[in-house]
Structure 1
Amino acid sequence: MSTLVIINTAFPLPAPDIEALLQGHSIVVMPRIFMNPGRQFALYPTDTSINALPTEQYYRSNFLNTARHTLEEIEDDTVLIKAWARCEHCQVIDRPDYLNLLSQLTVWTKEALLKTLAQRGHIFLAYLRVYRLPQPLEIPVHPHPRFIPLPETLTITEETPVFGNLFFKQRCLQMQQRQSSPYPELKALQSAIASLSDRNFAAKEIQQEIANFLIGFSARPLKSIDSDLLWIEKIAQVANSPDPKDFQLLLEKSFRKLGFTNSPTNQGEETEITEEGINLYFDAPYPLVVTSPPIWKINGVTPTVEEVIEGVNKIIAKEDKPCVKLIVTPSKLTPDEILEAKLSQMNVIHPETLQRLVELQAYHKGSIDLIKLQNSWQNVWGSADETIQQYLADIRHILELRSLIVQLVKHHLHNAGLKDIAVDALHRVYITSNFPELLTIEEFHEILIELSSPLTGYLGRIKGKDWQSDRFYFLRDLPAMS
């Protein structure tokens, strides 16, 4: 059984520095105080106001996009804590001759390190062994610059480290003996393509491949990027375009991405642009009519919702089948218009909601169950944005739990030096690890079976004489939610 760890304080660090620890780019931080080895604490993300230089000059180019994105997620009133750490060693640096190499082994620029040394007179370099929390902890913002008391004590285990024991020791030895990176060419290539990764998915995949290789054993699995995200991320933006053909194309691609199709008899007749807007029809896995009222004007007049509904009813009458009816509109409908849609048994969603649906399908193929989605649409007529958001939240919870379980198997076997583990022993580890959902051993076993199916292949299974004697082993990562 894993040793329980009690955490009752948090230590504030710049959010990008914490993200660098979580992604395996670094194992060190620069606290303003000397940190005693053995001290354990949660990692409290802050802005970068304590940094010696602006963000663009402080972080290396291959990490700068991540730093910016991490800072954008900081809230004014609450802080989301994702990890805890134990200080393994604290080194004092008071000479500049090590800083060039230190920059190569971390995410900080040499200029940032020189400026920090000049301001403080020395640098405390704390080596942190970092572990992910089973469930992020949200707490109020606290202004204290040093250790912060947590509103509730965390009781956790060491089952989800960012690095395994051996690899962490290797990284510590590399830094303490001042050994440069063994792959300088890859580091240079990573920096060279960093500026392209936001707009070029091929560059982003290469950058992730390089990062995954350089950090070695990591709890952050490599995720294959779906090139369709290039147009998926433009759905909400194009919905406001004055040219209906642009949005017509994205609408059709979106619903096909989700899994809607047409039989051969309906090919070529399912999409049209009329005065009432864009109309799409799909007949599998169930009949679906999608319409998007135009934001453009026809003869100086924008069609009313009643006219749009009338156009949809014409399609339904032509198909002579009961249909799910969906309006996708960037406009804010009035209460009377929502009521009109509700009386006509139609759902209304905004393009942003559609975009989130399709994004989830792109990141986790097959995660959108169209039959369950149909139930969501049919449970509430009228405005359906909140219903769909809840549906997406439920899927994210299911995926996140399974991702955590795969990581649990991976790290427990690695740390214990085992090849496989019995279901009852693994369930005991799960129970003591403070996971977000309490599962019985039967429920836990069902998820393990699901994850070890040949169609998923995240875990392997050694079948026992009965389900209680089944044993499981790690095969591949299930990417965590983005």
Structure 2
Amino acid sequence: MNQQTLIPTALCLPTPDIEALIQGRTIVALPRMFIRPGQQFSLYPANYSTIPLSVERYYRSNFLPIAQTAFKLLSSEKVLIKAWAKCELCQILDETKSLEVLSGLTIWTKEGLQEIIRQRQHIFITYLRVYQLLYPQEVSVNPNIQEKVGKFVSLPLTVSDAKPVLSDRLFNIRKHQLQNLHPPLHPELEQLQSALSSLATTNPAAKQLEQDIKVFLGWSSEQFVKQIDSNLSWINDIAKLGDRSRKEDEGKSNYQAGTEFENIVRDSLEFLGFSVDYSHKGGAGGLDLFCSKPYPLFGECKAGKKIPNDTAVQLLNLGTLRRPDLFNQATKLIIGPGEPTNQLKDAAKLHGMAIINPETLEKLIKLQSNYRNSIDLFQLKEYLKAGQSDEEVEKYIDQVYTDMKQRSQIVQALKELSEQDNENSKTTHNHFTVTEIRAHYNATQKPKLTDETVHDLVIELSSPLTGYLGRIKGNDWRSDRFYFLRDLPTS
């Protein structure tokens, strides 16, 4: 909606609590009073002296580093207002509720929650829809802040709802989980996210993984936009380096050209997941490439307009000379541009050698780049047929893209079910059985799938290693329920 609203007050909370709300780690705060649903206010950070126990005893271990850092960064003269919130619900809890489960779903220890009840006889737990300010506002520290924690102070601000921390759907899922005190589904991933948070500021890979985990856990609605990795620019040069007739290769010796092509082929195979054994590196009398894992692969790289007739003989002689114990059963691969001669084709078929051109290798690498670890090297092995194998390998590439598209459609079907449920029900659950997902998928897609097939797919898509869907385990596979977490793009 992007509506501008003037809000007159701010709720004072310990600064780690506000940081947790902004990060999406929690959707609740612990004020000292009942807050009326619908009330809007900014979030004013306060220092460590305002919590009832020491920092180490008050905050859970997986949140403790963030809490400690937040307190250290808090100035004694100025504070930064980063967010505002709207109260969606306020409950009063006492010791009859499961504080252990509540602790697991929030940032506070069970001991910390017990201490609040000991001091106040109950806890006001307030569910907050949080929005980040478009431009954080710096204000002076309130001199009476210790008396104001958990209460309101006057602080007029004009705010916008343009940057919600969580989408409506994710907030409803989290709210339902907290209201019913359902235990956290993936506490081990919360620990991993906490460990990664300190690395994420300087390590892009850690940042990517941390954000993926946050999306999977339902702590974030935003995908981390990966910066273009300049280290992967070589992918677009595979075919180019194989074809030495290109203008940019003029002036280079055959040896230099061949070495560059060998190097990029090795990089390509490593990127696919092969372990290249550099002790057998090429050169005079050496193999162009040898991969030891996940299965032995011997290769010969031929840059230039044609693949010489004796390439198969070279690979045969060098392979049997260097590793006679492995060569006969190993996969054998010749990579080079152009049309192989009939003599080479016959020799390759006779000795079980697959021939592919650099363009096909480049397509494989781009597939792996777009969908990391989507290539099953043992399945790929079945398509490396003796003789010219480009068509066979491209069949495999097409099949992987088809499989990814089908999985994307399953994710989309569950997303559509969630959106329909949001429109038709005020108290949405957003969790669906395999049968419901299959029925919705089959209504719009082909081929039609069975419940068993859909269950296999949603189990894969809800794995912590993929994280496109979430899963609530039932008594058996038919009673398992699944919910949407993030899109699986196919382009």
Higher relative contact order (CA 8 A, sep 6+): 1
Provide TM-score, normalisation by structure 2: 0.48
Provide TM-score, normalisation by structure 1: 0.49
User: Whose radius of gyration is greater, 1 or 2?
Assistant: 2
